[in-house]
């Protein structure tokens, strides 16, 4: 073959390869959304992070304040929502009230502590105004539905009281759980509810059950929704959920997603669940992430949006899940989700032995120049009960949220 023919063939081959690469990049970075629009999407992962001492320190200040005996001194299950008047409502699951005692001798014992008789309630809410935590609402805010059952608040959204209404309310998604034997030391999943709070008074108006899971025989396959929620347009709120596979000694749980028209979170008939190909009724829902092994989520996870990309943060699968946060990315809430990305290990209290991190959650309400993510810390005790509570009482920092500020970069 003459040299000029070979050159033309190489040029055509190179042009074809370039076209394939360009098309592949276009397909990877721009993807049709389920609502018919097009949004820029590109792989994302955590590029850097720093401890957020400001928000972490504010919870330590408020929790250590001994001026009242009926306010928050520690809790987990940290969620937040910005209210229309600029306040931030913080929601917690199991919560310690009472008073905190400072060490009398700074040279000796360095941990503040609470009495072992300090009351614990199943949920609480704390109001922040101007960056300062101001007051704890009467706790528990959401009463137990029945003996041996309780409610944990998770994601919350401000939305119209009904579609098109000018009046706004706060909808709080609740998990209901029932006392169970090992391995269900944190309760057997029972169902998902939605509470309505008035604005601006934050008065509880009512609670509606939106998904009952009691007929699912295997507790590890019961799905509770509300671990995170976000609204990416004016039409839909996407509510993520998960099963409790990790409680049944499986490396990772599965993530699910539902969507609800704005203004209808408290309407069970309005919820639509992803069934693997379309939005459907609850009996046909399928997971959007999780293979029962390396890929999957912890018992609680969170999702943020970065441009046209959805980024999911969760504790890593396996033993790393006690210390390491990892991430996945997707171009739509239903996936496909890509990952896991490279993880990072946020700081734990000085008393590290026996301490675990869990429940990462993003907080757009307090983000300044970065993505603020909280994580809860707790003392590990397979049996739970008095021994764990004693550790948490001896060192109150073991049961308070901590915060980091993230910056995302190319995945």
Please state whether 321 falls in left (phi above 0), alpha (psi between -120 and 50) or beta: alpha
pLDDT of residue 11: 44
CA distance 199 to 185: 36
pLDDT of residue 351: 60
> Would you write out the chain's pLDDT as a tens digit for each of its 411 residues?
544 544 445 444 443 433 333 334 434 444 434 444 445 899 999 999 999 999 999 999 999 987 777 899 999 999 999 999 999 999 999 999 988 888 765 544 567 888 888 899 999 999 999 999 999 999 999 999 999 999 999 999 999 999 989 999 999 999 999 999 888 888 999 999 999 999 999 999 999 999 999 999 999 999 999 999 998 777 899 999 999 887 666 668 999 999 999 999 999 999 999 999 999 988 789 999 998 778 999 889 999 999 999 999 999 887 777 889 999 999 999 999 999 999 999 998 876 667 889 999 999 999 777 899 999 998 876 555 666 677 787 888 889 999 999 999 997
Per-domain boundaries in the chain: 28-410
CA distance 135 to 153: 18
pLDDT in tens, 281-292: 887 899 999 987
Phi, psi of 63 (to 5 degrees): -65, -30
**Is there a contact between 126 and 83 (Cβ–Cβ < 8 Å)?**
no
Helix (H) or strand (E) holding 214: none
Task: Give the predicted TM-score (pTM) of the model.
Answer: 0.88
DSSP type of residue 56:
H
Q: Rounded to an integer, what is the distance from CA 73 to the centroid of its chain?
A: 21
pLDDT in tens, 79-128: 999 999 999 999 999 999 988 888 765 544 567 888 888 899 999 999 99
> Among 385, 366, 359, which residue's Cα sits nearest to residue 92?
359
Reduced to 3 states, what is the DSSP secondary structure of residue 27? helix
User: Strand ranges (DSSP E) for 179-324?
Assistant: 188-197, 204-212, 224-231, 236-242, 255-261, 272-274, 279-280, 302-306, 309-315
pLDDT of residue 20: 35
What is the third-level CATH fold of 28-410?
Answer: Tachylectin-2; Chain A (2.115.10)
> Among 34, 274, 266, which residue's Cα sits nearest to residue 159?
266
pLDDT of residue 22: 34
What size, in residues, is the chain?
411
């Amino acid at each position: 073959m003459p040299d000029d023919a070979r050159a033309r063939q190489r040029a055509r081959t190179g042009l074809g390869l370039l076209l394939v690469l360009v098309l592949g990049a276009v397909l990877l970075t721009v993807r049709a959304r389920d609502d018919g629009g097009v949004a820029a999407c590109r792989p994302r992962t955590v590029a850097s992070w720093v401890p957020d001492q400001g928000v972490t320190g504010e919870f330590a200040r408020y929790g250590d304040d001994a001026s009242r005996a009926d306010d928050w001194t520690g809790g987990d299950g940290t969620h937040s929502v910005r209210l229309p008047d600029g306040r931030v409502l913080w929601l917690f699951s199991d919560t310690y009230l009472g008073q905190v005692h400072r060490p009398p001798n700074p040279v000796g014992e360095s941990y503040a502590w609470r009495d072992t008789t300090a009351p614990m309630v199943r949920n609480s809410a704390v109001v922040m105004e101007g960056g300062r935590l101001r007051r704890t609402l009467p706790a528990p805010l959401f009463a137990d539905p029945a003996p041996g059952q309780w409610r944990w608040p998770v994601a919350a959204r401000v939305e119209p009281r009904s579609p098109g209404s000018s009046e706004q309310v706060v909808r709080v998604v609740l998990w209901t759980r029932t006392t169970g034997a090992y391995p269900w030391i944190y309760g057997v999943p029972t169902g998902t509810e939605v509470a309505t709070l008035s604005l601006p008074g934050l008065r509880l108006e009512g609670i509606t059950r939106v998904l009952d899971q009691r007929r699912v025989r295997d507790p590890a396959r019961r799905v509770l929704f509300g671990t995170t929620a976000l609204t990416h347009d004016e039409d839909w709120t996407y509510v993520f959920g998960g099963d409790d596979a990790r409680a049944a000694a499986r490396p990772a749980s599965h993530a699910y997603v539902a969507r609800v028209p704005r203004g209808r979170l408290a309407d069970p008939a309005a919820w639509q669940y992803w069934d693997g190909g379309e939005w459907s009724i609850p009996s046909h829902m399928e997971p959007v992430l999780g293979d029962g092994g390396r890929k999957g989520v912890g018992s609680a996870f969170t999702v943020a949006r970065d441009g046209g990309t959805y980024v999911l943060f969760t504790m890593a699968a396996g033993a790393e899940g006690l210390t390491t946060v990892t991430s996945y990315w997707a171009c739509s809430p239903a996936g496909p989700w890509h990952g896991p990305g490279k993880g990072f290990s946020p700081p734990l209290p000085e008393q590290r032995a026996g301490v675990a991190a869990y429940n990462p959650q993003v907080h757009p309400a307090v983000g300044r120049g970065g993505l603020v993510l909280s994580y809860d810390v707790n003392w590990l005790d397979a049996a739970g009960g008095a021994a764990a509570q004693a550790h948490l009482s001896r060192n109150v920092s073991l049961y308070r949220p901590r915060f980091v500020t993230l910056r995302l970069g190319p995945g």
